[in-house]
């Protein structure tokens, strides 16, 4: 059931995140295919288990995500998905083979990590690409998910990918023209993502560098109406992280995340019994509200909060809604 508008969030709820904390444990988990996944655990070792599922794909986990959880009540686990962050091999290296980096591999990695840490089940928290991975994991292993808190909801349908890399060009025609010019001459608009995926596998480092810069410039344009002061969301990342994220994004999106079109909406019945909080900005130009609304309609235990003054990156009202949901699920 939807709650429309940021004003639906109780203004008495805290606007500030929890204080910074450091991991009490961390490690590198062997997940097969030559991959090692970085993980860390924070908060209370005896607290409610929760897994942070980062976005991108390929952004890596960061310390800010730890601060959404009450460290007295949660055992918070974070991990870097294959090929990014501190996981190895790193996708910024052109020699790193991405064949064994798919949605299904990441789902298996999450299960392996859960077993490694001796966790029976856990709450899942994430947004953007992280929401796609949360939904895919929860539908594959519903008995392992106690609750879900999802912001900036996406399901990585091909229609969603087409909007982000073609449809949104109607709002930013000059930036989209530059993005299209970065692809080989004659590339059809519908083939841009696949064309960039091929460029990012080029043996020529100059070709890869130009493709990475063009991709980041387009992504930054889509977020330009909501980006605040500081580094740009994509092009402001360190070069190594930027190269890995763009290469992984293009790899995943050119394959439709290895999901059937509409799979995560059609299979939402598998989520029955899992309480969830969905939080989405009405002015999210990267992931339009339609997807969150459709998911809310087919997931009875989900509650959608629409933040009227937020976009994909969120804002104070988004933060309050996520904090309230996580505090509410802490028990």
Three-state SS string over 68-103 comes to HCCCCCEEEEEECCCCCCCCECCCCCCCCCCCCCCH
d(CA 144, CA 242): 33
Per-residue pLDDT tens for 140-171?
A: 999 999 999 999 999 999 999 999 999 999 99
* Residue 128: active-site member: yes
| Cα–Cα nearest to 215, from 192, 185, 184, 189 | 192
Q: Rounded to whole angstroms, how far apart are CA atoms 143 and 123?
A: 11
Number of H helices, E strands in the chain: 10, 9
Annotated catalytic, 116?
no
Beta bridge partners of 279: 151, 305
Report the alpha-carbon distance of residue 186 to residue 235 in Å, rounded. 26
Type and span of the H or E element at 259 = none
Q: Give me the domains of the chain, ranges plus CATH numbers.
A: 25-156+259-329 (3.40.50.1820), 159-257 (no CATH)
What pTM, to 2 d.p., does this model score? 0.94
Phi-psi domain of 292 (left: phi exceeds 0; alpha: psi -120 through 50; beta: other): alpha
Instruction: Find where tokens 């339009």 sit.
Output: 288
The answer to whether 56 and 249 have CB atoms below 8 angstroms apart is yes
Digit-coded pLDDT (tens) for 96-138: 999 999 999 999 999 999 999 999 999 999 999 999 999 999 9
> How many Å apart are CA 47 and CA 200, to the nearest integer?
42
Taking only the tens place, the pLDDT of each residue in 73-83 is: 999 999 999 99
Of 254, 284, 287, 296, the active-site residue reads: 284
CA distance 76 to 117: 12
User: Looking at 128, 152, 254, 287, which residue is catalytic?
Assistant: 128
> Who's near 27: CB < 8 A, 6+ residues apart?
38, 39, 40
Instruction: Kindly tell me if the per-residue pLDDT of 225 is higher than 80.
Output: yes
Please state, rounded to an integer, the average pLDDT across all residues of the chain. 94
**Cα(82)–Cα(119) distance, integer angstroms:** 21
């Amino acid at each position: 059931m939807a709650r429309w508008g940021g004003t639906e969030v109780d203004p008495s709820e805290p606007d500030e995140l929890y204080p910074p904390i450091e991991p009490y444990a961390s490690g590198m988990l062997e997940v097969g295919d030559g991959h090692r996944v970085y993980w860390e655990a924070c908060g209370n070792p005896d607290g409610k288990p929760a897994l942070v599922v980062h976005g991108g794909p390929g952004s890596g986990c960061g310390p800010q995500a730890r601060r959404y959880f009450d460290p007295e009540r949660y055992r918070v686990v974070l991990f870097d998905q294959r090929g990014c962050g501190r996981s190895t091999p790193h996708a910024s290296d052109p020699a790193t083979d991405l064949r064994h980096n798919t949605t299904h591999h990441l789902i298996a990695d999450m299960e392996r990590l859960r077993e490694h840490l001796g966790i029976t089940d856990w709450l899942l928290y994430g947004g953007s690409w992280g929401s796609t991975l949360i939904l895919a994991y929860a539908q594959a292993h519903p008995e392992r998910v106690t609750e879900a808190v999802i912001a900036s909801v996406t399901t990585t349908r091909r229609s969603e990918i087409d909007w982000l890399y073609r449809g949104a060009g109607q709002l930013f025609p000059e930036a989209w023209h530059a993005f299209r010019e970065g692809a080989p001459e004659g590339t059809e608009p519908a083939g841009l993502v696949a064309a960039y995926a091929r460029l990012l596998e080029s043996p020529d480092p100059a070709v890869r560098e130009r493709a990475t810069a063009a991709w980041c410039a387009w992504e930054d344009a889509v977020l330009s109406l909501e980006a605040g002061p500081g580094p740009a969301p994509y092009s402001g990342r360190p070069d190594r992280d930027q190269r890995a994220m763009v290469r992984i994004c293009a790899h995943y999106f050119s394959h439709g995340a290895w999901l059937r079109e509409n799979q995560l909406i059609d299979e939402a019945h598998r989520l029955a019994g899992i309480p969830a909080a969905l939080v989405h900005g009405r002015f999210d130009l990267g992931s339009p509200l339609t997807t969150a609304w459709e998911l809310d309609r087919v997931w009875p235990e989900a509650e959608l909060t629409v933040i009227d003054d937020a976009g994909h990156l969120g804002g104070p009202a988004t933060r309050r809604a996520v904090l309230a949901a996580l505090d509410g699920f802490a028990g």
